[in-house]
């Protein structure tokens, strides 16, 4: 008897996915509307309207399971000072997908550096890379509550943190 691995997603769903050459689905779960949420080796594919939003792993700032609402909460990386887009997904049987999300988001982080601004408040500079190892490094910042992105001290701290992070990575 030959062992066969079952498909991660049905063939018709896989055909609809906007995947790059060589990109492979690794885990999936149905949402509350019977639409597939698919994690590949390169991105999280979210169902939207009649298509998909492809969220590369290096563009996921953080994600976690909210036990109270039984939802996966995915927060995207945003440009400095901009609101971070957030997705809340009610999922059925999400364990494999949750494990994949945790693993891929963690693996995308190359560097995290805290930069003090005012007392104990500051910001984090984060460098992320694509799972393929190709392309530009994505840089993002997180501001502690109460800090204003327009404040010159914050802007100076961001510039210093980015420069130090680049130096740490030999860039």
Give the chain's mean pLDDT.
91
Nearest to 142 by CA among 158, 123, 114: 123
35-59 core/surface letters (b: 16 or more CB in 10 A; e: else): ebbbbbbbbbbbbeeeebebbbbbb
Give the total residue count for the chain. 171
Q: What is the pLDDT of residues 114-148, one digit of tens each?
A: 999 998 899 999 999 999 888 889 999 989 999 99
Domains of the chain: 11-107 (2.30.29.30), 109-168 (no CATH)
Instruction: Kindly tell me the burial class for residue 29, based on how many C-beta atoms sit within 10 Å of its own C-beta (0-12, 13-18, 19 or more).
Output: buried
pLDDT tens for the 171 residues of the chain, in order: 555 455 688 888 888 888 888 999 999 999 999 999 999 999 999 999 888 999 999 999 999 999 899 899 999 998 888 889 999 999 988 999 999 999 999 999 999 999 999 988 999 999 999 998 888 899 999 899 999 999 999 999 999 999 999 999 999
Helix (H) or strand (E) holding 25: strand 25-31
The pTM (predicted TM-score) of the whole model is 0.87
Cβ neighbours, 10 Å, residue 139: 18
């Amino acid at each position: 008897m030959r062992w066969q691995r079952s498909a991660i997603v049905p063939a018709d769903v896989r055909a609809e996915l906007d995947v790059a050459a060589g990109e492979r689905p690794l885990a999936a779960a149905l949402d509350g509307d019977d639409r597939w949420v698919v994690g590949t080796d390169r991105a999280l594919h979210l169902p939207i309207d009649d298509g998909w939003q492809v969220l590369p792993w290096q563009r996921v700032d953080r994600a976690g399971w909210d036990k109270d609402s039984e939802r996966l909460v995915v927060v995207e990386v945003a440009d400095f000072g901009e609101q971070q887009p957030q997705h809340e997904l009610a999922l059925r049987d999400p364990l494999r997908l949750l494990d994949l999300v945790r693993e891929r988001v963690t693996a995308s982080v190359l560097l995290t550096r805290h930069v003090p601004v005012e007392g104990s408040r500051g910001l984090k500079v984060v460098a992320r890379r694509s799972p393929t190892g190709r392309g530009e490094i994505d840089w993002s910042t997180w501001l502690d509550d109460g800090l204003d992105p327009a404040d010159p001290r914050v802007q100076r701290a961001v510039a210093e943190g980015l420069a130090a992070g680049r130096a740490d990575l030999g860039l």
